[in-house]
Structure 1
Amino acid sequence: MKVGYFLSCEEFGPAELVEQARLAEQAGFDSLWISDHFHPWNDAQGESPFVWSVIGAVSQVCSLPVTTAVTCPTVRLHPVIVAQAAATSATMLDGRFVLGVGSGEALNEHILGDPWPSADVRLEMLEEAVALIRKLWGGGFVTEYGHHYDVDHARIYTMPATPPPIYVSGFGPKATDLAARIGDGFIATMPDPELVGRFREASKGKPAVAGAKVAYADTEQQGVEIAHHLWANAGLPGELSQVLPSPVHFEQASTLVTEEMTRESVVAGRDVEAHLSQLREYADAGYDELNIANMGPHYREMIAFYASEVLPRFRNG
């Protein structure tokens, strides 16, 4: 399994993200993920730069492949605009780009005043959007009047030699089946072998990639405190993360997540075996690639720690 670094746009500004990309390549990470948000999950995270600008900057300092994890091409951004942005990113990265897409969260997508559709409708919109993006990448002018999207004489002029792959995220059976049907790969965040197996069987072996987080610190307790302060929202159950509309609502809901719950779910501190155990869990689940984000300010130390302690031991078995 390859190991990449996950650039978190919710927590870091553009300059820090570009620095992390450069350091990750120097440290020997295999790839980069980058999140695409309009809002952070809470005010403590405190950032949310425009992902396409950051990708352009990253392309000038780093030669690692980049995947958006994930872009929602259905509500806040029309799929025509996403098609153009992704094509430009793939061109700047000389083809080392994957457009990761998903059905999105109200947190980011409600901002223009559109109603937030049901999960089934969001998946329907995503399928239509992906088909439209691929059609635009096929060349020529596109005019189409679909169920959700209309396009009038649109053409993408700046294109890489080969259109980028589109990976589709899935957090349940319906989304996973959609990813297998329309995606070039699968994106998830849980080490769930049943979900990976479901995708692999339906897709006939297409790649499956994942993301996870750690909270590097001098001690486990310090890491837990950082993770709980910044990312308690990650412990919210069910569909809350898809339907809550603002960072304020996530802060309110996150009061239900205790520090002990965070401790049980997060790799914190600098114990090498704990970090290796998480990597192995995702490898055993069947993923081809895992991208690791660091929660909190110690990203330079985390990257150096992975370069010297974690990555060599994982790769040497």
Structure 2
Amino acid sequence: MRPHLGYAVMLERFPPAEAVALAALAEQHGFRGTMASDHFQPWLPSHGQSGFVWSVLGAIGQATTGDFGPGVTTPSFRMHPAVVAQASATLAAMHPGRHWLGIGSGEAINEHVTGAYWPEPAERIARMFEAVDVIRKLFAASAAGRDIRHSGEFFKLESSRLWTMPERAPEILIATQGPVTARRAGRTADGLITTNAPADRLAALLARFAEGAREGGRDASRMPRVLQLNLAWAPTDEEAMADALAEWPIGALRFPRGDIRSPFEVEQLTRTVRPEDFAGRMVVSADPDVHRANLQRHLDLGFTRIYLHNAGRDQARFLEVFGRDVLPGLRA
């Protein structure tokens, strides 16, 4: 069976129209779906973009035929869970069976902009799971044609419903790099999303997710386990490393980024990143065989869908090379 390899289009790096064109180009080269980033600000000033993810997802849905969704959106600070539920349900109604909803606990660089208090991680995670509860209630009640109310610790919802609903509600995938949250996601969500980490950490994360699924009476082997894989490919190793250092130095950072508020802060923090800092965290290579082996290792760990993000600016050449030389050699 052909594995599910998709393209991660970074809206903090590419203008909206170019992002849509790249998603379509990725599909032409054999990529089967699109993950789009939800940012209010870019990670680095040099990235220079930050389009509104829901607008771009609508265009991606029209320009492609595969699955698509926000890699991580945060229905907690910038947007109420009811608004996120409405946006997601609308996309799913327009594109049946294709749209999924990735939810995370948020990062200050995107969520602090409304001026609210920025809480500690434990509260952010609690808010995330309550937001998932609100969205699930809205999906279920709206599909049944009835109103729903919610009054919780963080969110209130007056009696209402979503008047536009798909026949099947979108899958809700929880994004995390923490084992405790992964276990809870296994109990309460439809699937898991995570990103680059050493193999032993990823294996432990998947194991905790499966443990939570069993506790919830579900089979984790039938649930989506999604990875956004950041990498650096270019025609030469030297170009690939230059791209990694210039475009995606955050891939080498070894501390959480959740409390950083400004792209200019990130720029200062990444000035000390050296080539050796990418070791074990992000593959930087010109050799398609090296990237294919890395992808296969992650598929063998148990990920069911992997969305690739290449650090280089020449995305068209990356998509061509990987579509021709990397994807065909992979096995599920």
Under a length normalisation based on structure 2, what TM-score does the superposition of the two structures give? 0.91
- Which residue of the partner structure matches residue 197 of structure 1? 207
State whether residues 215 and 226 of structure 1, in contact with CA within 8 Å, keep that contact through their aligned partners in structure 2: yes
Distance in structure 2 (CA, Å) of the matches to 1:252 and 1:141: 49
SS of corresponding position for 2:134: helix
Q: Does residue 130 of structure 2 align to residue 128 of structure 1? A: yes
- Which residue of the partner structure matches residue 186 of structure 2? 180
2:160 to 154, 157, 162: 154
Under a length normalisation based on structure 1, what TM-score does the superposition of the two structures give? 0.95
| Residue identity opposite 2:20 in structure 1 | V
SS of corresponding position for 2:101: strand
The alignment of Structure 1 onto Structure 2 pairs a total of residues equal to 315
TM-superposition CA deviations, 1:73-130 (whole Å, max 9, x none): 1111110110011111112222311101011101100001111111111111111100
Distance in structure 2 (CA, Å) of the matches to 1:29 and 1:46: 26
What is the CA distance between 1:244 and its match in structure 2? Answer: 0.8
State whether residues 79 and 129 of structure 1, in contact with CA within 8 Å, keep that contact through their aligned partners in structure 2: yes
Q: CA 1:264/1:166 → structure 2, altered by over 3 Å: closer, same or farther? A: closer
| Residue identity opposite 1:227 in structure 2 | A
Distance in structure 1 (CA, Å) of the matches to 2:290 and 2:194: 21
Q: Which runs of 5+ in 2 are unaligned?
A: 214-218
- Which residue of the partner structure matches residue 40 of structure 2? 38
What is the CA distance between 1:264 and its match in structure 2? Answer: 6.0
SS of corresponding position for 1:255: helix
SS of corresponding position for 2:254: coil
2:172 to 166, 169, 174: 166
Q: Does residue 12 of structure 2 align to residue 10 of structure 1? A: yes
Distance in structure 2 (CA, Å) of the matches to 1:215 and 1:93: 32
- Which residue of the partner structure matches residue 283 of structure 2? 267
State whether residues 39 and 107 of structure 1, in contact with CA within 8 Å, keep that contact through their aligned partners in structure 2: yes
State whether residues 224 and 304 of structure 2, in contact with CA within 8 Å, keep that contact through their aligned partners in structure 1: yes
What is the CA distance between 1:235 and its match in structure 2? Answer: 1.9
SS of corresponding position for 2:326: helix
| Residue identity opposite 1:209 in structure 2 | V
TM-superposition CA deviations, 1:50-95 (whole Å, max 9, x none): 0000011111110110121111111111101100111111122223
Distance in structure 2 (CA, Å) of the matches to 1:312 and 1:285: 19
Superposition CA RMSD, Å:
1.6
State whether residues 2 and 30 of structure 1, in contact with CA within 8 Å, keep that contact through their aligned partners in structure 2: yes
Distance in structure 2 (CA, Å) of the matches to 1:193 and 1:281: 11
Q: Does residue 322 of structure 2 align to residue 312 of structure 1? A: no
State whether residues 233 and 251 of structure 1, in contact with CA within 8 Å, keep that contact through their aligned partners in structure 2: no
- Which residue of the partner structure matches residue 119 of structure 1? 121
State whether residues 216 and 298 of structure 1, in contact with CA within 8 Å, keep that contact through their aligned partners in structure 2: no
SS of corresponding position for 1:99: strand
Q: Which runs of 5+ in 1 are unaligned?
A: none
Show the 5 A alignment for 1:135-150. Answer: 135-138=137-140, 139=142, 140-150=146-156
Distance in structure 2 (CA, Å) of the matches to 1:200 and 1:218: 39
Q: Does residue 70 of structure 2 align to residue 54 of structure 1? A: no
Distance in structure 1 (CA, Å) of the matches to 2:210 and 2:32: 22
- Which residue of the partner structure matches residue 294 of structure 1? 310
SS of corresponding position for 2:149: strand
What is the CA distance between 1:11 and its match in structure 2? Answer: 0.7
SS of corresponding position for 1:44: helix
Distance in structure 2 (CA, Å) of the matches to 1:51 and 1:250: 22
1:210 to 227, 235, 249: 227
Distance in structure 1 (CA, Å) of the matches to 2:322 and 2:99: 24
Q: Say which is worse superposed, 139-148 or 69-78, in terms of deviation.
A: 139-148
Distance in structure 2 (CA, Å) of the matches to 1:257 and 1:135: 44
State whether residues 211 and 292 of structure 1, in contact with CA within 8 Å, keep that contact through their aligned partners in structure 2: yes
